[in-house]
Chains A and B, each alone.
Chain A
Amino acid sequence: MKRELKIFDKPQNVKRFLVFFYISLVVLLIIDFFIHKHADFPWEGATNFFAVYGFGSCVALIFIAKLLRIFVKRDENYYD
């Protein structure tokens, strides 16, 4: 067997990755203050609109999906 990559086996690497991720989020929030916008909709030009919308969308997505699962989930052999 060839050598394996084990980069995410070490907890400190996962932690480093997350820290890098969080920092990039903060940087994105700060940069937005300095961006010139020409928006079609008024809210589109609001500072950090897309951050809020992206986060909210994905949380809503998961909530609705979990709700949907109650109604649509069936056993793997349902159609057999």
Chain B
Amino acid sequence: MTNLIPPSAIFIVGALFVPFIKGRLKSVFMLLLPVAAFITLVKMPEGKYWIVHFLDYDLIFGRVDRLSMVFGYIFTIISFIGILFALKVKDDLQHISALLYAGGAVGVSFAGDFFSLYIFWELLAVASTFLILARRTKAAQNAAFRYILVHIFGGLCLLAGIIIYIQNTGTIEFAYIGLGGLASWLIFIGIALNGVIPPLHPWLQDAYPEATVTGAVFLSALTTKSAVYLMARTFPGTELLIYMGVLMTAMPIFYAVLENDIRRVLGYSLINQVGFMMCGIGIGTQLSINGTVSHAFCHILYKALLFMSTGSVLYMTGKIRCTDIGGLYKTMPLTCLFCMVGAASISAFPLFSGFVSKSMIVSAASHGNMVAVWLVLQFASAGVFHHAGIKVPFFTFFGHDSGIRTKEPPLNMLLAMGIAAFLCVAIAIFPRPLYDILPYPVHYVPYTGAHVVGQLQLLMFGALAFCLLILSGYYPPEMRAINLDTDWFYRKGGRLFYYIMDKALNGINRASERVFVGGLAGYLGRVSRDCPTRAALLAMVPAWVISGITGEKLVLKKAGVRAALRTGTSPIGITAAIATIFLVVVFLLM
């Protein structure tokens, strides 16, 4: 077993070779990396592998159990799809970043100790930043800068928590932690930031829409779901997560309805979907954890599919705002079809993947008799169909005809979307293979008459509301605008902080200059310069007066001493006198 290298290392080491391989061979090489990682995964029985002794601690690069395996599988599958989608990109920076990013996500899934976890966690943050930077626009650069700052903050919280945890327990191995004590709270906040739990969420809808067309596919899959994995590992059954999850399902859908940028709409719906998962982790029963894990699996596929289809539109037309596009089904029918499969899957339509996974979480809420939670989750289910299920395909491919006439994206992109779409439908029709790899045995039956009809009613009557509101003109119009979120606090607050610091610190600086440089230092300079003259005069004048020198003569004598001391040409007698006075003063002061 240990003769194999860890799956994360396959991606990371593989990434280093990418710049040195050219042409078709590079495509084959990159596609083989996730395949090799997947084969390694399939051959890994449960247990702990790749244990490396380091600084008195054991680093565990392969903690393999049912929870980590599901995430390992889906991260490698989506990496294959993402690489295929990005195959024609002539930018090694993106390829290398994406592979390192995938390696980080797989590494997080199998890390059995805090040290290696933290390294992979930071690799996620850094590698993903380059997928935003690689867009090479001013907006992307700014968004990437905010993105990495926010993630450094989250990473530092995690690190601080880890250090205190190790200090308290004496071990770097981790499993269930649970909330209680400073260390656990800091770790929780670190994970929550990547898991887009409010108010730490706005980095997602800020940064993802600015990423490259192909980078967004990896982004949509890896960071948040690594956080879901880690949260499920360390904080299952934490009640706070139920309420945070519920808030996450409900809040973003209002924003999504108003949003103009289609990829930002998908960002909001991503938060909404991760909300279902966090809620499932919070409920913490076998059913809800199974629901969370299976939903993460399905979600990665359909969300990537949605980002690929809308990314294809951006790639082919250069536009992605509701106000700029529309009517694209005419020239991009296959992309439109794939987008609709993704939309149906995220909406949990029967025969599409969300239906067999999300319902487990909702059922877990009802089995736990959580009335309010259940009602909000159902509201959010209808809402997600409304914005991600209808709005995204409708405004992109139908709606008003923008007059844009383009064509389908290249074959590799269509193939990547095709594979994801196929999996979305296949999982829904044959959920058993997915159910069989979940952490706990699955007794759940998704296709009951009541569930199918109930879900169809919820969605179709939600669609009726959309239809009637659009036809009556009451639906909020597409607008070139942005909507404020909690990032206002650091985007505007940051500037306010800068302004205050500028005024306060520079003010202190100016005052210091005036008082010390211009005032005190000058005064001391003058005093020091005049001191020998004054001392000399103090000693000499009485002597002169006694010896009868007064009036004009005294003035001339004084002027002579001043000039002599200024030019350093005083007679030896005067110099000796001043030196004596100086010594007397020093003696007295001592």
Closest chain-B Cβ to A54's Cβ sits at a distance in Å of 4
B residues near A19, Cβ cutoff 8 Å? none
B357-416 interface with A by 8 A CB criterion: 366-367, 369, 371, 374, 378-379, 382-383, 386, 398, 405, 407
Cβ-defined contact, B483 with A55, below 8 A: no
Q: Which of A25, A32, A39, A58 contacts B386 (CB 8 A)?
A: A58
A31-B453, A50-B455, A54-B461 in contact; A73/B479 too (CB < 8 A)?
yes
B residues near A31, Cβ cutoff 8 Å? 453
Q: Which of B329, B366, B382 contacts A5 (CB 8 A)?
A: B329
Q: List 16 A-B contacts (CB under 8 A).
A: A1-B331, A2-B407, A5-B333, A28-B453, A28-B460, A40-B367, A50-B454, A50-B455, A51-B460, A60-B379, A61-B382, A64-B254, A72-B483, A72-B484, A73-B482, A76-B482
Q: Which of B369, B450, B464, B492 contacts A25 (CB 8 A)?
A: B464
Cβ-defined contact, B330 with A74, below 8 A: no
B42 within 8 A of A: no
Cβ-defined contact, A6 with B369, below 8 A: no
Cβ-defined contact, B462 with A57, below 8 A: yes
Cβ-defined contact, B449 with A25, below 8 A: no
Q: Which of A4, A49, A76, A79 contacts B405 (CB 8 A)?
A: A4
A8-B398, A40-B366, A73-B481 in contact; A68/B461 too (CB < 8 A)?
no
- The secondary-structure label for the interface of chain A is helix
List B residues at the A interface (Cβ < 8 Å). Answer: 253-255, 257-258, 329-331, 333, 366-367, 369, 371, 374, 378-379, 382-383, 386, 398, 405, 407, 449-450, 453-467, 469, 474-476, 479-485, 491-492
A residues near B382, Cβ cutoff 8 Å? 53-54, 57-58, 61
Cβ-defined contact, B469 with A32, below 8 A: no
What is the CA–CA distance of A32 and B456 in the complex, to the nearest angstrom? 11
Closest chain-B Cβ to A78's Cβ sits at a distance in Å of 6
Please name the residue on chain A nearest to B474 by beta carbon: A62
Cβ-defined contact, A61 with B386, below 8 A: yes
What is the CA–CA distance of A8 and B328 in the complex, to the nearest angstrom? 11
Please name the residue on chain A nearest to B471 by beta carbon: A18
A1-60 interface with B by 8 A CB criterion: 1-2, 4-6, 8, 18, 21, 24-25, 28-29, 31-32, 35-41, 44, 48-55, 57-60
